[in-house]
Structure 1
């Protein structure tokens, strides 16, 4: 998006709920557009030692490594003595941010979804769906969905999970956020949405809180939690969230 097309967000108040270290660039961009940004990190990311990585020679037994997020990439390589992968590896990634993080380590991605950055989209890629049975290293955070592993095993893949980080819920900041008066609350993970509602403890009516969310899956969960004002980005990346905000703002101004 060119600089001259960026909306003026003067007078708008936005709450960013990303982990603090992941919110810096988007916060700066929003502030440059004139918005008031409230930092409300609902999750923190902590390293989780993966026993498999204690013996790096184990990696040679795999044919493909699948990274589910930029955090998966960063915390994987932090546990390696030498930040490299065997030359025979094929690489799959979910999302442009994950692919870019791998590129920072000099690693080219072979399979990645183009638009929505979801497990479903990766699994549906013709080239990825056509893979022959092989041994796959699934690099991820603790817990989460089992769709990737379950589907790949149904395709006769041998999938070994390597959990290299965990999400830790954070208390709401002590500052008094007027949730029903903000312009948008930006939510990029299902865990953050669920934790936010838990923190409210019934004191805030979700129907009055406007959400800008990073996926259809989060939007569906928000509807079940009684949110009514929901706008959905194509994916949870900074760029997609910014562009979704830009669309909302244009639609508002066109009325």
Structure 2
């Protein structure tokens, strides 16, 4: 039982943690779940109006990029409201195998590269159809805020980039001391954090109760750098945020 010495906290949003929790327990580890990000609908009138206007102009874009499974869930809800049939002559892209799988389930014809399961913006940028983008419009479907690296790189290649921000990521409303109590009850010694925002939210939720003798598992060097800046010292770096990569990193601890 490879993970029998580990008590792992999985911090994915509600409804997105079950498979990793099961994998950890199947490998002999103890697994607990406490989301450090909640995914919720838009509630701001201006944001709602901007999203509506952007989606209604969907047929003006040559490329549409969904950055996550959350983007597919909320983005396709918006698209189905105004486009009973998808507009033609669009290159559809998804980051990550799960994102691609959800798009295919909804009848969205993803670009062939996507079947390779690129898990981040850097991998997506290697796609052949995204190299020369002069006079092409690209729509990135995502939550409010977030990383602008992808848009910046596409703009440098000549693209006119827009966002359809169709959901929000918020800090969960945990009771005072709830997360610290879970650490003590479950003797947690390892935490899986799936993004830079997850790292900063976890840090904030722990408050003054910083725990020095834990290992955090993060996807990639960029997120590891964020964790180091916040003072985390024991950091394991997974290839990406997929269940398979996070589990592999746990095996290697």
Task: Work out the CA distance in 2 between the residues paired with 1:55 and 1:117.
Answer: 25
Deviation (angstroms), 1:88:
1.1
Q: Secondary structure at the match of 2:147?
A: coil
The corresponding residue for 1:22 is 16
Quote the Cα distance in structure 2 between the aligned partners of 1:114 and 1:223: 30
Which residues of structure 1 form unaligned runs of 5+?
A: 1-6, 249-255
RMSD: 2.5
TM superposition score normalised by structure 2:
0.84
What is the match of residue 158 of structure 2?
Answer: 156
Partner of 2:57: 58
Tell me by how many angstroms 1:91 deviates. Answer: 1.1
Q: Is the 8 A contact 1:69 1:95 kept in 2?
A: yes
Compare 68-77 and 238-247 and name the one that shifted more.
238-247
- Counterpart check, 1:185 vs 2:191: yes
Total equivalences in the alignment: 241
Partner of 1:3: none
CA distance in 2, matches of 1:213, 1:150: 24
Cα deviation, residue 139, structure 1: 0.6
Q: 2:86 & 2:223 partners in 1: Cα distance?
A: 33
TM-score (norm 1): 0.84
- Mapped to 2, the partners of 1:120 and 1:56 lie a distance apart of 25
> Do 1:16 and 1:41's aligned partners in 2 also have CA atoms closer than 8 Å?
yes
CA change 1:129–1:56 in 2 (3 A) is: closer
Deviation string 1:159-217 (CA, Å, 9 cap, x unpaired) is: 12100111010144626133795231010011111111112223214x42211112221
**Pairing 1:22-101 to 2, within 5 Å after superposition:** 22-48=16-42, 49=48, 51-53=50-52, 57-79=56-78, 80-81=80-81, 84-101=85-102
Cα deviation, 1:94-132, whole Å, max 9, x if unaligned, reads: 222211111111223215495762212222334421344
Cα displacement (A) at 1:84: 4.7
Check whether the contact 2:133–2:154 (CA below 8 A) recurs between aligned residues: no
